[in-house]
Amino acid sequence: MVALVIRHALIAWHAVVVAVASAVTVDPMLERPPTWSIPSEGEVRARVEGCLPDPSAPMPPAVAEAWGALADARGDRLKAVITGVAVVDPRVADVIDAARHGRTPDLAWLDAADTPEVLRDSVELWWARELVRCDRYDEALPLLRRLDLARSIDPATLLFCRGACEHWLLETDASTATLDQLLERERDIPVRYARVARLLRDDIAALSDDSLDHIARRMRDVTRRLGLGRTGTGTREVQEGVVASLDELIDKLEKQSQQEEQGGGAAGGGAGSGQGGAGQPMDDSRVAGGRGAGDVVPRDLDPGEDWGDLPPHERDRALQQIGREFPPHYREAIEEYFKRLAAGAEDR
């Protein structure tokens, strides 16, 4: 009897849970729909086949094989389309060959009036992606921004490459907007795009303008440009911006140090301010504000003992602490100093 009552109670409780869950379900009308869509395999195939030199000719087996990836919306559709078209269009084959050998392809034929729109967009997107893979972000971004997302055969690749370029070039707002738009269809895009986009999104959101990290990234971008032989106006503008930001940061730090020094002198009210008394260290590591006579408390040294020497165990402990708190080159420099000190090559 008790078991029967418990069973009925559980059934009633399950019904209540289901009813509550139904009541709190988000109204689909309140959900924000994605602002872009992914074309189906049939749509892509129909658009691309219409731009072939002879759409009525039998499809070569190599084209059919290359386009096998079109069925997978998360696969590399762009590569499938370009590889397939290259079989029957030598101009596209020349573009692929030039990129493979590190040359800039001749794309003037894309601007011809008789070039189909889908072919022009697809080749430009493919070339822009190749530029991104070669770290030529500032060259790829203008191409990516002029492409129409609505008519692209691979809008996920377009958004990902655009967001990656904007991220590298530190266009924070633009990168955030582009990556957010890409992630509207996180479940439908390639996994590699979704995971990297989230990392880029979190990284750019945590970056502050004119911070040391921001300046370091701009210096890295200058290094990239110079490594590619880009020494024009764009590179010089980035360099000048880095110098200006560094000057501003240094000026800010100097003013902060002066304020701390003045504040320490005023708070102490004379000699010994900010200190615990003669012969005692300061409570915090900062610029001293005192105006004492400069007398040094003499230290009693044993015969043969030099000021600055540390017992071996204390020296090892100090080196371990340095290794935990500072970059490796600090420890290496101090170890070298100790060696020179032991050999008598360093002034004491």
Lowest mean pLDDT among 57-61, 152-156, 178-182, 235-239: 57-61
Residues of 264-300 as b/e, b for ≥16 C-beta within 10 angstroms? bbeebeeeebbbeeeeeeeeeeeeebeeeeeeeeeee
Percentage of the chain beyond pLDDT 70 is: 64
What integer best gives the mean pLDDT of the chain? 76
Lowest mean pLDDT among 26-40, 154-168, 258-272: 258-272
Q: Which secondary structure element, helix H or strand E, spans residue 191, and what is its range?
A: helix 191-205
- pLDDT higher than 90, residue 134: yes
Contact criterion met (CB below 8 Å) for 222 and 241: no
Tell me the per-residue pLDDT of 90-104, one tens digit each, with 9 for 90 and over: 999 999 999 999 999
Interval 249-287: pLDDT, tens = 778 877 888 888 777 655 554 444 444 444 555 555 555
Residue ranges covered by each domain of the chain = 41-207, 208-253, 312-342
Element (H, E) at 100: helix 90-100
Q: What's the rounded mean pLDDT across residues 119-132?
A: 96
pTM (two decimals): 0.64
Residues 6+ apart with CB under 8 A from 88: 52, 53, 54, 60, 63
Do residues 306 and 348 touch, judged by C-beta distance below 8 A? yes
Strand partners for 282: 275
